[in-house]
């Protein structure tokens, strides 16, 4: 099977007709109007993946509060996904409520999830897709390192806030070490804009370290 390169930030997620634990789905069509996190895991019935699924499910309601769904994926058959979900519920009391794609390898190859240097299983990829089907963030993790689901939730919230308020988010937002919970005002793009920014800073609408580094309350 020919491997295709992964899509890039700003690309529309390729149309995917998939079989999941919740039945057939077409992405991103079936998620129209919603954000969603499409994440791959190396394999069912593995320790790190098990901890990740419990962690994702624990935060599932928080994702849904910001109009975001979760969709898992691995190159396993659907009955394996179902049995693994039963095992998680029996052993940890956590019921996996989001769908998991049973991939034959076609989706993994189309999205560039197989990295030969890391074996034949999918890496721990994360695609954050907006309500218009556009890929906004891509994370890649090796098989050895489990993901931080709070960071993925923060990333969704940050991109949504950025879209709604035309601003950028500082490191560790909303708890940045320099500007706290403020957001960054985009720098001006020309000399005239720089002069106008200096005047805006004096008006008290924002705080500035310099014309190119201004911030305001979110």
Instruction: Assign 3-class secondary structure to the chain.
Output: CCCCCCCCCCCECCCEEEEECCEEEEECHHHCCCEEEEEECCCCCCHHHHHHHHHHHHCHHHHHHCCEEEEEEECCCHHHHHHHHHHHHHHHCCCCCCCEEECCCHHHHHCCCECHHHCCCECEEEEEECCCCEEEEEEEECCCCCCCHHHHHHHHHHHHHHHHHCCECCCCCCCECCCECCEEECCCCCHHHHHHHHHHHHHCCCEEEECCEEEECC
Please give the distance of CA 41 from its chain centroid, rounded to a whole number. 14
Residues with Cβ within 8 Å of 84's Cβ and at least 6 positions away in sequence, in order, are: 44, 45, 50
Task: Give the torsion sign (CA, 183, 185, 187, 191).
Answer: negative
Task: Give the torsion sign (CA, 154, 156, 157, 158).
Answer: positive
214 is catalytic: no
Which one is catalytic: 49, 68, 167, 208?
49
> What residues act catalytically?
49
């Amino acid at each position: 099977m020919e491997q295709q390169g992964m899509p890039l930030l700003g690309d529309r997620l390729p149309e995917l007709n998939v079989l999941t634990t919740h039945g057939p789905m077409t992405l991103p069509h079936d998620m129209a109007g919603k954000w969603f996190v499409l994440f791959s895991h190396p394999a069912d019935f593995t320790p790190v993946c098990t901890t990740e699924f419990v962690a994702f499910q624990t935060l599932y309601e928080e994702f849904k509060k910001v109009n975001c769904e979760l969709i898992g994926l691995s190159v396993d058959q659907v009955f394996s996904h179902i049995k693994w979900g039963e095992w998680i519920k029996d052993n940890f009391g956590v019921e996996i409520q989001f769908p998991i794609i049973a991939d034959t390898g076609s989706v993994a190859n189309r999205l560039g999830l197989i990295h030969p240097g890391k074996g034949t299983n999918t890496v721990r990829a994360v695609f954050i897709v907006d309500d218009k089907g556009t890929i906004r963030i891509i994370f890649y993790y090796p098989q050895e390192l489990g993901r931080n689901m709070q960071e993925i939730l923060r990333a969704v919230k940050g991109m949504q806030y950025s879209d709604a308020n035309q601003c950028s988010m500082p490191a560790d937002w909303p708890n940045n070490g320099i500007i706290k919970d403020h957001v960054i005002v985009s720098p001006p793009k020309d000399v005239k804009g720089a002069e106008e920014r200096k005047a805006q800073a004096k008006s008290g609408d924002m705080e500035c370290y310099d014309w190119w580094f201004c911030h305001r309350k979110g």
